[in-house]
Chains A and B, each alone.
Chain A
Amino acid sequence: MGVLDWIETTRLAVWMQDSQSILAFPAVLTLHTTGMGLLVGASWMLDLRLLGINRNVPLSAYRWVFPVVALGLVVNLTTGVMLFFKNATTWGTSIPFLVKMCLVVASAATIVPMRSYVFHTGAEQSPSTNARLLAIVSILTWSGAVTAGRLLAYLAV
């Protein structure tokens, strides 16, 4: 019995699969979507600023983005694990799911250099080429992650 099979027999997985409660799968999925809105939306606001939208707002005024992104990440890691438990055998071996995971990791990884850039750059400087590239990568990887995640719904049925 493989790990994926075992995951689907855990109490959490069974609850996610069988519970008729609105607080089971529906609430977890809704939280995952809300977390996505916070996480991706806030990231994109910073990306747009780095690409020159609202450039007269100092970069330091975008520090609010990071706590929002952190909150979204915590919510979506938690609910994401719960959703994975429900579908472990289907998703664990599917290419779209692995693609989504790679895109999520890549997107989240852009946050780290962006944070140090925002916290250490003077107010009057326009974003460096690297920062712009980072913003473009962030927009594309988050879009890809949302796309792959949404398409997963059509994979498991």
Chain B
Amino acid sequence: MNLTHLHLLLNHVPTVGSVIALAILLLSFIRRDQALKHAGLEVLFLIAILTLPVYISGAAAQREIRNRPEVSTTAVRVHQDAALAGFAMTEFAGFVAWIALWQSRRRGGEARGLVAATTVLLMLALALSGRAANLGGEIRHPEILADVTADPAAPALSHGEGSADDKQRFVAAAISSYMVNSRWAWPAAETVHFLGLSLSFGVLLAVNLRILGMLRQWTFADVHRLLPWGMLGFGANLITGMLFLIGQPGQYVQSTPFFWKVVFLMIAGANFLYLTVFTKAWTAKGLDANVVDKAMALTSLLAWLGVLLAGRMLPFLGNAF
């Protein structure tokens, strides 16, 4: 099995998952059910996490098939741009869902405006993911091939490496060209990546050390209030990380440490959701967490450490710079 298999396995997650999350959210409006609303937001957050390996494995699949004569480079690039749009919108929707979850956990009430915004963003994400899925199908399923080649406005089919003016027609190609050719883009993105890392680490230390039984003067509400700062650092790193991936996919998609970095990210992301929504009422100081919560806190610290170690080892165990 290679990463192309993984892409074919996972590529229905954004569309099918978004339909499920949307259905749960709409049902929660009809039934006026708070628990169901939270479930919809949580499912959406998990879908946003899982969409990351979908995009990454897609970049790997692109490299597997790009030199095959029967595969149109144009069709692949059209799919890639559509997938990038779907990915970005799904992440944005997942981010707003997270804010809604965080706020309702903190204030106890409903975050009505945020849930409405999440629902709209989710519909957009579903539309964009659906378009990406359809265009992805056209790469390998000639029976549904229609739009890309029949549209007179569409660029002519090309094969192989792709033409030099790809970067003027396709967003991902333009980003890649800029990241590689600009003297400052890559170093600047690396710098932001390290600043984001530091911010996330500070928050994760405070939150998880508290759950593990240190920082007894803090209530749970106190550490919970810090979570958005961790999310800010993570958001900066997701964006800059995607710039690296789009910039030089060949450095990452077949790299062993990158594979493990993404695995640790999945674990850490699910763990972050748990930290955001778990229902323990730590309103008083000095309360002790139970064994499960402590195990979750330890997992969180180890998973993020794993993300850092695997990421830092990319140039040495892989071929990234």
How many angstroms between the C-alpha atoms of A41 and B237 in the bound complex?
15
Which residues of chain B have C-beta atoms less than 8 A from A48's C-beta? 229
User: 1/0 per residue A59-77: CB within 8 Å of B?
Assistant: 0110010001000000000
Query: Which residues in A have their C-beta under 8 angstroms from that of B199?
Result: 41, 44
Interface string of A128-144 (1 = CB under 8 A from B): 00000000000000110
Quick one: CB contact mask for A32-52 with B, threshold 8 Å, 1 for yes?
Answer: 011011101111110010000
With a 10 A CB-CB cut-off, give which of A33, A41, A60, A147 has the most chain B CB atoms.
A41
**Other-chain residue from A29, A42, A57, A143 in contact with B312 (beta carbon distance below 8 A):** A29
| Residues of chain A contacted by B214 (CB below 8 angstroms) | 64
Which of B24-32, B90-98, B201-209, B288-296 participates in binding chain A? B201-209
- Cβ contact within 8 Å between B316 and A26: yes
What CA separation (Å) do A41 and B199 show in the bound complex?
A: 5
Decide yes or no whether A7 CB sits under 8 A from chain B: no
Shortest beta-carbon distance from B35 to chain A in Å: 29
Counting contact residues on chain B (CB < 8 A from A), the size range is 20 to 34
Chain A residues near B209: list those with CB within 8 A: 64
- Interface residue range, chain A: 35 or more
In the complex, are the beta carbons of A42 and B217 less than 8 A apart?
Answer: no
What are the residues of chain A within 8 A of B315 when measuring CB–CB? 26
Which one, B198, B217, B226, contacts A40 given CB within 8 A? B198
CA–CA, A26 and B317, complex, Å: 9
Q: Is the CB of B191 within 8 A of A146?
A: yes
Is A61 in contact with B215, judged by CB distance below 8 angstroms?
yes
Distance in angstroms from A118 CB to nearest chain B CB is 12
Contact A40:B312 (CB < 8 A) given known A54-B226, A57-B218:
no
Q: A41-B198, A64-B206, A151-B187 are in contact. List 12 more A-B contacts (CB 8 A).
A: A30-B308, A30-B313, A33-B194, A34-B309, A37-B198, A40-B198, A45-B206, A48-B229, A57-B222, A61-B218, A61-B222, A147-B191
Q: What DSSP secondary structure best describes chain A's contact surface?
A: helix
**Is B305's CB within 8 Å of the partner chain A?**
yes
B residues in contact with A40, CB < 8 Å: 198, 201-202
- Any B CB within 8 A of the CB of A98: no
Q: Does the CB pair A151–B191 fall under 8 Å?
A: yes
Residues of B within 8 A of A22 (CB): 313, 316-317
Collect the chain A residues with CB atoms within 8 Å of residue B206's CB: 45, 64
**Which single member of B191, B205, B229 contacts A42 (CB below 8 Å)?**
B205
Q: Are A57 and B217 in contact (CB under 8 A)?
A: yes
User: Min CB distance, A26 to chain B, in Å?
Assistant: 4
- A154/B205 in contact, CB under 8 A: no
A41 — which chain B residues lie within 8 A by C-beta? 198-205
- Indicate whether B197 reaches chain A with its CB closer than 8 angstroms: yes
Does A125 sit within 8 A of B, measured CB to CB? no
Q: Does B190 contact A (CB under 8 A)?
A: yes
Q: Which residue of B lies closest to A60 (CB)?
A: B217
A147's partner among B195, B204, B217 (CB-CB below 8 A) is B195
Residue-wise interface mask of B (296-313) relative to A, using a CB-CB cutoff of 8 A (1 in contact, 0 not): 000000000100110011
Interface pair B229/A37, CB less than 8 Å apart: no
In the complex, the answer to whether A42 meets B316 with C-beta atoms within 8 Å is no
A53 within 8 A of B: yes
